[in-house]
Structure 1
């Protein structure tokens, strides 16, 4: 997701510690000492201080009805197959998706801008002259669901709590937070050390604000099923642990008429049901027990929509364009395991994956081969590095693979046979070069130990999809297996890095910050349980490139830095890119309305759609 007009990035090669001090000079387009109604990475705000609502909502949308859906995405410690805690912001346990809808944040993101946030709990923010402190003015009407005021003391408590005990998705952005102070009941000051990226505030301003009183009485770091006291548009209603949960719209929600909320949160009730089997979830959808789902199984999308409700026109299939944000669907090869530390071994494993055969036999011709850590964006590296990219990469030449400086590394296309002899031959040669010699059916090291690789999955669908990959690995001498585990164990083993190979899908913000990238790729997160650095990447050169992203002062220099980072990551082969879709494959019972224009940078169906009584009556769902 342009050329770099600045040459001072050459200094980044000197030392990562020096680079860490650069980002405080960014954000230069945002004035200091002036209360701002919104923030963006490079100072460009679409909406003026007196805006009435976001352009992509329907402010006349009716309110009511129940939206029972299968969430297509989630974060923090959330799990779509089970839950055993209602605390979504701790590393422990499995929480239900969409708990964040029960909480408000200081500011809210606009989904038709790549990086802008506007006042929610805070009606504005003032940046200090040294750009190290941010002072938020809180709205006096802000309330928790029990009617108690939400004050700066609650907000200060929240940020300190997240820094100390929060999920890594929260705590890592607060690494350089020095203090969170309630200047007075309506003024919060967040002070950073100067080693932070100033764009960090774009992440931090969206963090949920918790009740100090509630979490003083209820331990934050314990798995608990005590519904938390929130302050957002919804609150926890009825639920059955591990089976289903309902969020009820708060009738007297304090912020319902704010510009950032108008036209949103239209459903009276949002219900999520949990299925550990995809087939069971689809059957529930066919019966109308689930009303909206995104289809991630190509076979089902291509062949299974022939049930009575669909043929009668009660159920609709529709493809919505995907967001223009960088995304990654890939397999992590865990370098905490000694046998995977040689990049040639990781490359050999990648060569055993026959995407072309898989696409034809499992995906019904859908999906495209992913090549980048930042697919579907301008941040994907292409061809030879530009002069501006080389300005960043050359000082790091001795710390990066030689392939970084040639054509951007891509995964080769197979002959589609499922057993491409050329690719498997190259894989076997790479293993031999890495010291793994063939002895009988297996590749062994000098001590006679087998090269083993276990694929960790939590769904039988992936057992089927990855079995041919496993077979190819075994053909070149890798003692490869698949282990299917239950959802709770899968999440625990992922968080504690207890796996050899694991496949995941993630999206980044349209304007990535250093914090966004650190949790995935930085040395500092390689040993942090619950981080997204699943391969265990620990590279000073990658750290320097991440700092370059944080230091970018405009979108052109950001794009250059991101492409350089992508180029280096692909050459290291920490992740094996898999596949991606260009659209959301959505299916829903035809009883909803939605805005004509989908925003480019988000698709929160549960927040933007509404219940249409007329449509519901026509299909017998009124």
Structure 2
């Protein structure tokens, strides 16, 4: 989940049915069908071979000889779990309660870790090897005996088993939901962990589980797990929490004697001695801090600022660099949810009418300075975006649900309307008015009302002045066709709480589900069960047997071709139902940084973690007075 910017809505990244379902899905027990069982493996990949062999020394996208040292004052562009960009009141990021600071994950190790130049590969971190059981529902991990917590105590299989069971019972929903298929976690000895699953899990489910942070059994036996607390939990990763000023700043200090510093998966990473994050409630104040050099790296999400604001002395004299880096080769979702738990939004004609009030062409010109492209899908920038007529393979997944699905599902994928760019396209607004009338909303004076005389109200939720600017024209167009539209700006804490409790009419979300979407990630956004699960991202309240079946089909895919087929079919359904209204996307990262860093020029395709991948170049830093 990414940052919620002024002009590129991005929040809390981060960063996974009936007779027809049985027909659509592969049979259970086929996870990692191409992966041998009974053999110790150094990594796992959902499809195909691993890029890196057992004796690899470092990932190809790092500088293995990157120097250690220095400090990066960092403005995080994304976050995960309960993390907030604007403030924090807890250091516990593992539960739903409270707001924690971004990057607490740097303090924890996991069983395995991702390779950012492969779409679905993980390699051993705490685990030296993993072995699949013959039925592919069991995984035996051999842990590295040298693994240690920061207090010097050993990190053992008992800690891992404890952590996973704890998350399943009481963890943040993003942790607990993937673990619902886990039937047991057993530690026969300090370096052996056995995980078993019930056979209903997706082929990619284990990729979510092995990436979870591992906590200390001793610590959370003595301390309450779900407490909102400023006491840092005992951790084991490359960084530990340093100086903390509640709600204002947090520092992560590199652990010089980190037990895993020489592992192949860590070599060339985690180079800064200290990473500091400052929190600003006001976006302009955050930008001023960057201009002064109090912040060293910033990703710019406000088109107006990117186009006109970078004219300060440090940029003109070369001390600050402004440039773009390629975006990730991962699906991009930037959409609006209309909360169908509220009856006025259950009719797709109402949702379509509201979508017709969004004038992207005007917004692109007037607010985006010509940047951004129109989103048509929740899988933009990927092969999962549906194109043309459904293939025979897609139709095989869709046909069992023809009676449930809109007819448009079976033709060319639904496209969002193109306006005349005037800001008030009469043709589109006329169509919107007709749709409302067809849905039973009649114009009476300034407003449309239903048969009970109730107005059609839409409260648009925002937590940022820039988002208010973005929504203003959309709101005005809704008012023009008789919708009682308003914008409600709230503080960060209230915004998060209302999102978690599904207490809104209209909400924006920017989300990345990874290059190889897992069933767990898809379920968080689209599965029927998640419509009633607080803290999940099924903001529209979608409940659809067809969508649930397609998620299962995606999860059971044993080849990338099967995954692409299932997700293209899912895309057709989402676009026809208009559960989410796609808005826009940006192809590149727009960043500015003080010219004090070294980094590999070739960015990895599936991530951009500058805080762990870059390093301080002492010569550059000294030249600009940052040495």
Smaller-chain TM-score range?
Answer: over 0.9
Contact 1:38-1:119 at 8 Å conserved across structures: yes
One of 146, 154, 174 as aligned partner of 2:151:
146
In structure 2, what is the Cα distance between the partners aligned to 1:492 and 1:455?
15
In structure 2, what is the Cα distance between the partners aligned to 1:162 and 1:13?
30
Does 1:582 find its partner at 2:578?
no
Give the equivalent residue in structure 2 for 1:606.
611
Give the equivalent residue in structure 1 for 2:271.
266
In structure 2, what is the Cα distance between the partners aligned to 1:137 and 1:66?
35
Does 1:523 find its partner at 2:497?
no
Give the equivalent residue in structure 2 for 1:384.
389
Does 1:232 find its partner at 2:232?
no
Cα distance, 1:511 vs structure 2: 0.8
Instruction: Map 1:248-287 onto structure 2 (within 5 A).
Output: 248-287=253-292
In structure 1, what is the Cα distance between the partners aligned to 2:199 and 2:24?
12
Contact 1:523-1:543 at 8 Å conserved across structures: yes
Cα distance, 1:336 vs structure 2: 0.8
Give the equivalent residue in structure 2 for 1:7.
none
Gaps of 5+ in 1: 1-11
SS at match of 1:169: helix
Does 1:196 find its partner at 2:201?
yes
In structure 2, what is the Cα distance between the partners aligned to 1:493 and 1:16?
33
Contact 1:125-1:135 at 8 Å conserved across structures: yes
Give the equivalent residue in structure 1 for 2:623.
618
Contact 1:179-1:191 at 8 Å conserved across structures: yes
In structure 2, what is the Cα distance between the partners aligned to 1:124 and 1:84?
38
In structure 2, what is the Cα distance between the partners aligned to 1:309 and 1:586?
15
Give the equivalent residue in structure 1 for 2:356.
351
Contact 2:61-2:602 at 8 Å conserved across structures: yes
Give the equivalent residue in structure 2 for 1:185.
190
Contact 1:494-1:530 at 8 Å conserved across structures: yes
Q: Kindly tell me the number of residue pairs found equivalent between the two proteins.
A: 611
Does 1:547 find its partner at 2:552?
yes
Does 1:288 find its partner at 2:316?
no
Give the equivalent residue in structure 2 for 1:50.
55
One of 556, 562, 576 as aligned partner of 2:567:
562
Change (3 A) 1:17 1:338: farther
Contact 1:378-1:559 at 8 Å conserved across structures: yes
Contact 1:13-1:395 at 8 Å conserved across structures: no
Q: Could you report, residue by residue, the CA deviation over 1:208-249 in whole angstroms, capped at 9, with x for unpaired residues?
A: 011011111111112111011111000000011111100000
SS at match of 1:348: helix
In structure 2, what is the Cα distance between the partners aligned to 1:553 and 1:159?
26
Does 1:25 find its partner at 2:45?
no
Change (3 A) 1:29 1:65: same
In structure 1, what is the Cα distance between the partners aligned to 2:44 and 2:370?
42
Aligned-CA RMSD value: 1.1
Instruction: Map 1:93-242 onto structure 2 (within 5 A).
Output: 93-242=98-247
Change (3 A) 1:20 1:149: farther
Give the equivalent residue in structure 1 for 2:4.
none
Q: Could you report, residue by residue, the CA deviation over 1:239-275 in whole angstroms, capped at 9, with x for unpaired residues?
A: 1111110000001100000000000000000000111
In structure 2, what is the Cα distance between the partners aligned to 1:495 and 1:24?
34
In structure 2, what is the Cα distance between the partners aligned to 1:391 and 1:19?
8
Give the equivalent residue in structure 1 for 2:486.
481
Cα distance, 1:276 vs structure 2: 1.4
In structure 2, what is the Cα distance between the partners aligned to 1:578 and 1:178?
40
One of 414, 420, 424 as aligned partner of 2:419:
414
Cα distance, 1:594 vs structure 2: 0.4
Q: Could you report, residue by residue, the CA deviation over 1:85-126 in whole angstroms, capped at 9, with x for unpaired residues?
A: 101110110010000000000001000001000000000100
SS at match of 1:125: strand
Give the equivalent residue in structure 2 for 1:4.
none
In structure 1, what is the Cα distance between the partners aligned to 2:250 and 2:435?
50
Give the equivalent residue in structure 2 for 1:402.
407
Cα distance, 1:14 vs structure 2: 2.3
Give the equivalent residue in structure 1 for 2:13.
none
SS at match of 1:332: strand
Cα distance, 1:17 vs structure 2: 6.5
Q: Could you report, residue by residue, the CA deviation over 1:152-211 in whole angstroms, capped at 9, with x for unpaired residues?
A: 110000111111111111111111111111121111111111111131001111000110
Cα distance, 1:340 vs structure 2: 0.6
Cα distance, 1:596 vs structure 2: 1.7
In structure 1, what is the Cα distance between the partners aligned to 2:220 and 2:429?
55
Contact 1:79-1:97 at 8 Å conserved across structures: yes
In structure 2, what is the Cα distance between the partners aligned to 1:370 and 1:65?
40
Q: Could you report, residue by residue, the CA deviation over 1:35-85 in whole angstroms, capped at 9, with x for unpaired residues?
A: 100000013200000000000000111111111111001110000001001
TM-score, normalised on structure 2? Answer: 0.96
Cα distance, 1:334 vs structure 2: 0.7
Give the equivalent residue in structure 2 for 1:495.
500
Cα distance, 1:22 vs structure 2: 2.5
One of 321, 331, 338 as aligned partner of 1:333:
338
Contact 2:20-2:400 at 8 Å conserved across structures: no
Contact 2:140-2:193 at 8 Å conserved across structures: yes
Does 1:393 find its partner at 2:398?
yes
SS at match of 1:586: strand
Give the equivalent residue in structure 2 for 1:34.
39
In structure 2, what is the Cα distance between the partners aligned to 1:280 and 1:403?
47
Gaps of 5+ in 2: 1-16
One of 281, 296, 319 as aligned partner of 1:314:
319
Contact 1:13-1:392 at 8 Å conserved across structures: no
In structure 2, what is the Cα distance between the partners aligned to 1:559 and 1:19?
14
SS at match of 1:399: coil
Q: Could you report, residue by residue, the CA deviation over 1:300-327 in whole angstroms, capped at 9, with x for unpaired residues?
A: 0000110011111100001000000011
Contact 2:331-2:380 at 8 Å conserved across structures: yes
Cα distance, 1:446 vs structure 2: 0.3
Change (3 A) 1:416 1:439: same
